[in-house]
């Protein structure tokens, strides 16, 4: 399963803020290739246990093989959006630490047949769990022009969203959208050449991000998933969330801020009467970014940010 091994992003920072220790109980809600999980278990040492959740069965198999030396490792096939129920079903005790790495793993990007990459021509799939759900092709061929505009605009922060959606609809009227290059060609046709030449990076990357988020319903349940994982922590337990684009980072930031300061009383109220108590203390003073050394070693870390909080 070596094809699913990749370098975990912000690994040193994750270990700094999760602070693994012997006998601790941890959850990696986005197991992937198991890189973060292996480091947490190795750092924690004797008696530690870790519950690794992933919706991708290929990742589950690869990580289980990689982590077979750790008797405290437990693999769970599922979505971290359902982490609380999955952990309860697995009989997990309260957690000392939880991690979410919200990026698409390198192996998923590198496996052309998964349809995540705009560099390789492959079927438009993009599902993280290939056993269920609508594919990217099905979404692109059935959504209305207005729906596509909203997806590309809201999830990709793409200013050419309306024109890209229009071109997709024109192309699919002649031939269904079937491959990643069908989508790339639609984006190329929609964005003027002069703009594409000025692009920092591939002009289709925002559209691919948007479609991937929509296919996998990545953002809508994220806030509740973070709150559920905080509920699963012991007092003093910590949660770390790694994001790779501004939509995710803003959502995580606001969620942590609300959990730290949940009071809904009027700002000028002399005393709090809503009764809402802080659930976490935000750590690290904001977003933690990769070191220069990591960026030189791993270009895919360039947009990564980590936010951490401790349960009160």
What is the DSSP secondary-structure string of 229-252?
HHHHEEEEEEEEEEESSHHHHHHH
Q: How would you list the strands of the sheet with 73-77, edge to edge? A: 73-77, 49-54, 25-28, 95-101, 233-243, 305-311, 280-288
pLDDT at 106: 65
- CATH class of the 2-102+221-311 domain in this structure: alpha beta
Q: Which residues of 149-167 are buried (b: 16+ CB within 10 A; e: fewer)?
A: bbbbbebbebebbbbbbbb
In tens digits, the chain (312 residues) has pLDDT values of 345 556 899 999 999 999 999 999 999 999 999 999 999 999 999 999 999 999 999 999 999 999 999 999 999 999 999 999 999 999 999 999 999 999 877 667 667 788 898 998 999 999 988 888 899 999 999 999 999 999 999 999 999 999 999 999 999 999 999 999 999 999 999 999 888 888 777 899 999 999 999 999 999 999 999 999 999 999 999 999 999 999 999 999 999 999 999 999 998 888 888 989 999 999 999 999 999 999 999 988 999 999 999 999
- CA distance linking residue 266 with residue 269, whole number of Å: 5
Q: Measured at the alpha carbon of residue 310, what is the angle toward residues 307 and 311, in degrees to the nearest 5?
A: 135
pLDDT at 104: 78
Structure tokens at 10: 């912000």
Map out the domains of the chain as residue ranges.
2-102+221-311, 113-216
The DSSP output letter for 112 is: G
| Chain position carrying tokens 């909203």 | 150
In sequence order, what are the residues at sequence separation of 6 or more whose Cβ sits closer than 8 angstroms to the Cβ of residue 108?
56, 114, 116, 128
pLDDT at 1: 39
- CA distance linking residue 282 with residue 138, whole number of Å: 40
Do the Cβ atoms of 238 and 97 come closer than 8 Å? yes
Q: CA–CA distance from 78 to each of 3, 55, 164 (Å)?
A: 21, 5, 33
Does 2-102+221-311 match 113-216 in CATH topology? Answer: no
pLDDT at 3: 53
CATH homologous superfamily for 113-216?
A: Putative methyltransferase TM0872, insert domain (1.10.150.170)
| Chain position carrying tokens 């630490």 | 97
pLDDT at 2: 41
pLDDT at 6: 65
Structure tokens at 287: 């977003």
Q: Measured at the alpha carbon of residue 310, what is the angle toward residues 37 and 280, in degrees to the nearest 5?
A: 135
């Amino acid at each position: 399963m070596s094809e699913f091994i990749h370098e975990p992003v912000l690994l040193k920072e994750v270990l700094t803020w999760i602070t693994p220790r012997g006998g601790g109980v941890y959850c990696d809600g986005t197991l992937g290739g198991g890189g973060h999980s292996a480091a947490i278990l190795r750092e924690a040492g004797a008696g530690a246990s870790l519950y690794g959740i992933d919706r991708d069965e290929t990742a589950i198999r690869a990580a289980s093989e990689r982590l077979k030396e750790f008797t405290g490792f437990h693999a769970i096939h599922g979505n971290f959006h359902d982490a609380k129920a999955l952990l309860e079903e697995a009989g997990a005790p309260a957690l000392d630490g939880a991690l979410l790495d919200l990026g698409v793993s390198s192996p998923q990007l590198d496996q052309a047949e998964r349809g995540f990459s705009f560099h390789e021509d492959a079927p438009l799939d993009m599902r993280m769990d290939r056993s269920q759900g609508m594919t990217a092709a099905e979404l692109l061929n059935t959504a209305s022009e207005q729906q596509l505009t909203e997806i590309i605009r809201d999830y990709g922060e793409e200013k050419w969203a309306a024109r890209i959606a229009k071109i997709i609809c024109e192309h699919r009227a002649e031939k269904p959208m079937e491959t990643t290059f069908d989508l790339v060609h639609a984006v190329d046709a929609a964005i003027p050449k002069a703009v594409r030449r000025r692009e920092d990076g591939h002009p289709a990357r925002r559209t691919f991000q948007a479609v991937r988020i929509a296919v996998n319903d990545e953002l809508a349940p994220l806030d509740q998933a973070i709150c559920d994982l905080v509920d699963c922590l012991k007092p003093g337990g910590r949660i770390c969330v790694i994001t790779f684009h501004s939509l995710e980072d803003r959502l995580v930031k606001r969620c942590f801020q609300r959990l730290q300061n949940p009071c809904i009383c009027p700002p000028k109220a002399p005393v709090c009467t809503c009764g809402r108590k802080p659930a976490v203390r935000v750590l690290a003073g904001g977003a933690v970014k990769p070191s220069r050394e990591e960026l030189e070693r791993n270009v895919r870390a360039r947009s990564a940010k980590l936010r951490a909080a401790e349960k009160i």
